[in-house]
Structure 1
């Protein structure tokens, strides 16, 4: 068994698609109409057959509340791995991404947390050598 799709609840699918593709660099794999919303799935350019990130609308009250509470408590919705966290931090910062936590050594990993502009905090992590 393996993870093939993981969801991130977003407030606005178009805004999220722009941020996750243009700013973060993920590649759009699917963009299919499903009623009033869309099935928008992105993949890493480094693993285009790997796990898909589904930009899921937070239209369900439970999803909206879940997302709101995580954000209020400063809890990242998910984590992405990076090769060089300091380089990625600078790249994203130069693109206007707002960080809640700059790169911080956390033992076996160095982590940083940013606002995805769509209602979530996202954590990036680099394994320490």
Structure 2
């Protein structure tokens, strides 16, 4: 797994954790947070990890969305397998070209991730 895979995994973890809010969030309670004083270390680590993943996801999501549909499917399939740790998911539309499509997508994403400051040259 290389650095682009790690960034894409951060994006995917955040996308999995996202839950839309039903209803209206009032202006007086928008930024309310409960105290962290009773959090365990694991809970706090999970919160920090989610915040870091969110920062990467806000940059990566539009970059992935700008890719061709074939490359987006390849990215999603590959990252789902990386997240699972095994090859569980198969590309539903282009299984024969999954590996080459994913490498093409990574090649196209690299300069954009460098420009966004997520990767070093």
If the TM-score is normalised by the length of the shorter chain, which range does it land in?
Answer: under 0.3
More helix by share: 2
Structure number with greater Rg is 2
**Could you state the TM-score of these two structures normalised by the residue count of structure 2?**
0.28
- Higher relative CO (CA 8 A, sep ≥ 6), structure 1 or 2? 2
**Could you state the TM-score of these two structures normalised by the residue count of structure 1?**
0.27
More strand by share: 1
